[in-house]
Structure formats: structure tokens, C-alpha cells
């Protein structure tokens, strides 16, 4: 009997399943519709020794992403994006502005009302066979409508919804296992996200994802993934005009200090897509007047970016009722 128990113990140890692992392969699945809400909270505090400017900005954008069926042998995938709600508020200590596309007259919108022009506009995002954003199609009509007749507000919102901004929104460092290999619980893998800064160079976010555990989120089993990274700026001049800007920045001794990003992603392996994302980025910019006539300038900034997958399902079926965009 002892020998039998011993053999059973050995057999159990040998045949026990390995540590839980998962292949991360975030992508939009053809033939499905996704409704997402993107949120952004930003705090800025500029101090030049003589004056101080504090500004808090909140924004939420709801949109549907409809993925067209993919033909056999196709190497690209087309996603139609349509915005259905925008919420934005701004407070600099002197004036408070707010706008909600579902209640456009309920508050004091000021120039923020221009953001409502994006509602109902459609454009296409084309992904290549590696699920990287290849092209943004039909964005120009939406940008022209967004621009309106106010040059000041047009400049602000074109920065939020221009081709590069939308590309970043759709691409942002997707969760993918290196070389398609399974990631075990507790394991980490690197990621790199670069954002162009016109006239300056690029913002570089370099860090690691860590597969922490499997957890239940609203009845769905999700992989909890921690993200942690360092933020830096690569000063690169592509044109003569860029070189002039960079020369001035060097004269001001512009530096990026304490650049960090961290947050949590809850990834649903059954649909190959995150159910929610929350990432906080913080950075401090410092500079000085080139001739030394004034005090040093210090600009701490903190930004929290979130994503919630409100609904997911086949395009030929009625999508579940969308969750409301969070208010301020």
C-alpha cells in the first residue's frame, strides 16, 4: 500500500499542470463591433518663480469601432470608427468651462463646444497583418468640420483628433507576447511606445508589462497586467525649422525629469482585448531664460488615461446598451 501511495504521489507531481500561462495577442477581431470609452485627466502646474499657472483638464470620448469581415488571404483589416459622445472640462482657477455633447446647453462650454462637432463623423483605420496601424482613411472631412471658424479652438481640437493622435489612440502599445510565446504568472516582458513631438523630436515610453494574476471582472476572467515605464524625450530635428526650435530649447536647458508611467490593464483572453486600462503618466519639465534674466521655470504634469470596453459582439447583432461616459 505504501508503495502504491508513493507511486501515486510521484505520478501526481509529474502530471500536475505547469504554472498558469497565457499568450497575449491584443487585436480587433473581424466581424465584431467594440464600443470604448477613453478618459483623460490632466493636471498641470507651471511655476516660473514670479507667477504660477495651474490647470486641470478632464476629457471623455465614446466611440464605436466596427471591424469589417476579412476576406480570405487579406493582409489588411479595416476598422470604421464613429464618435458618439464627448465630455470635456477645464479649470485654471479663474474660469471653469465644461461641455457634454448629450447636454450641450447645460453648462458653460466656451470654446470647448467645438469638440462636439466630431459626433457622428466616421473614418477608417487600416491595420496591417501584424495588427499595427497602417493608415487612417477619410479623416480630412472630420477635421474640417472640427476646425469650424474659430482658429484658436481649431488648433486645440485638431491636436486631439488629428491623424497622428488617432493613430496613437488605436495603436498604444498593445498587449502582445514576445514572439507569440506564452507568458507565465509573474513573468515580465518589455514594451516601447514612441510619440512624435512636432518640432521637438519624440516622446519615448520604455518599460515592462508583468502578468500578475487572473481575476474576475464583472463576471469575466481577465489577466491583470501591471505596466511600469520610464519616460524620456529624444530631441531630433528633421527640418531646418526644427533645428531652430531645438537650438532655442538647448539654450533654455530644457530637461525632462522624473518621467514615469505606471498602471494596470485587465485583458480578456477570450476576445483578445482589454476590458479596462488605467495608466498614469507623470513628468516634470524644467527650463531657464537663456540670458539668465529670470528665475527657472518648473512645469510638473500628471496625466491619467483610461479605457473601458463598454460592449463587444458580432456586428450583425444589436450591441448591448452602452454605459454612460463618466462625468467629471
CATH of domain 21-314: 2.30.230
pLDDT value at 274 more than 90 = yes
The Cα 85–Cα 37 span in angstroms is: 9
The Cα 199–Cα 176 span in angstroms is: 31
What are the residue ranges spanned by the domains of the chain?
Answer: 21-314
Tally of CB atoms within 10 A around 148: 14
* For the chain, counts of helices (H) and of strands (E): 5, 14
Distance of CA 160 to the CA centre of its chain: 12
| φ/ψ of residue 287, rounded to 5 | -160, 175
**pLDDT the model gives residue 66:** 94
Three-state DSSP state, 147: helix
Pairing between β-strand 77-91 and β-strand 21-22 as defined by DSSP bridges? unpaired
Tally of CB atoms within 10 A around 84: 17
**pLDDT the model gives residue 101:** 87
Residue with cell 519624440: 202
Question: 190-241: per-residue pLDDT in tens?
Answer: 998 877 666 567 778 999 999 999 999 989 999 999 999 999 877 776 677 7
**pLDDT the model gives residue 293:** 64
The Cα 81–Cα 86 span in angstroms is: 14
Cβ-in-10-Å burial (0-12, 13-18, 19+) of 211 comes to buried
Question: 42-96: per-residue pLDDT in tens?
Answer: 888 877 666 777 889 999 999 999 998 877 777 888 999 998 998 988 888 888 8
| DSSP 8-class letter at 106 | S
The Cα 121–Cα 142 span in angstroms is: 6
Q: Which residue has the higher pLDDT, 240 or 303?
A: 303
pLDDT value at 2 more than 60 = no
Q: Determine the average pLDDT of the residues in 295-308.
A: 86
Quote the longest CA-to-CA distance of the chain. 91
pLDDT value at 120 more than 50 = yes
**pLDDT the model gives residue 249:** 73
The Cα 221–Cα 267 span in angstroms is: 9
- Ranges 100-104, 220-224, 244-248, most confident: 220-224
Amino acid at each position: 500500500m505504501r508503495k502504491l501511495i508513493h507511486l501515486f504521489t510521484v505520478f501526481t507531481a509529474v502530471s500536475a499542470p505547469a504554472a498558469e500561462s497565457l499568450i497575449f495577442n491584443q487585436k480587433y477581431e473581424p466581424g465584431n463591433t467594440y464600443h470604448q470609452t477613453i478618459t483623460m485627466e490632466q493636471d498641470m502646474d507651471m511655476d516660473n518663480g514670479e507667477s504660477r499657472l495651474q490647470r486641470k483638464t478632464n476629457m471623455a470620448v465614446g466611440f464605436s469601432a466596427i471591424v469589417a469581415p476579412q476576406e480570405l488571404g487579406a493582409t489588411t483589416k479595416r476598422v470604421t470608427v464613429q464618435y458618439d459622445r464627448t465630455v470635456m472640462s477645464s479649470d485654471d482657477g479663474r474660469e471653469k468651462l465644461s461641455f457634454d455633447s448629450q447636454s450641450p446647453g447645460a453648462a458653460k462650454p466656451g470654446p470647448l463646444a467645438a469638440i462636439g462637432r466630431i459626433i457622428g463623423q466616421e473614418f477608417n483605420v487600416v491595420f496591417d497583418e501584424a495588427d499595427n496601424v497602417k493608415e487612417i482613411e477619410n479623416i480630412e472631412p472630420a477635421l474640417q468640420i472640427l476646425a469650424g471658424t474659430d482658429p484658436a479652438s481649431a488648433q486645440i481640437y485638431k491636436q486631439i483628433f488629428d491623424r497622428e493622435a488617432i493613430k496613437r489612440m488605436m495603436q498604444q502599445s498593445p498587449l502582445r507576447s514576445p514572439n507569440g510565446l506564452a507568458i507565465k504568472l509573474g513573468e515580465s516582458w518589455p514594451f516601447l511606445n514612441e510619440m512624435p513631438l512636432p518640432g521637438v523630436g519624440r516622446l519615448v515610453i520604455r518599460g515592462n508589462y508583468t502578468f500578475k494574476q487572473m481575476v474576475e471582472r464583472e463576471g469575466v476572467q481577465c489577466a491583470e497586467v501591471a505596466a511600469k515605464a520610464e519616460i524620456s524625450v529624444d530631441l531630433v530635428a528633421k527640418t531646418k525649422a526644427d533645428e531652430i526650435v531645438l537650438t532655442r530649447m538647448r539654450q533654455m536647458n530644457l530637461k525632462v525629469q522624473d518621467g514615469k508611467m505606471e498602471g494596470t490593464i485587465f485583458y480578456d483572453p477570450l476576445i483578445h482585448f482589454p476590458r479596462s486600462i488605467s495608466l498614469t503618466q507623470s513628468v516634470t519639465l524644467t527650463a531657464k531664460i537663456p540670458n539668465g534674466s529670470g528665475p527657472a521655470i518648473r512645469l510638473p504634469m500628471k496625466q491619467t488615461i483610461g479605457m473601458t470596453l463598454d460592449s463587444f459582439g458580432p456586428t450583425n447583432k444589436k450591441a448591448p446598451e452602452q454605459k454612460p461616459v463618466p462625468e467629471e
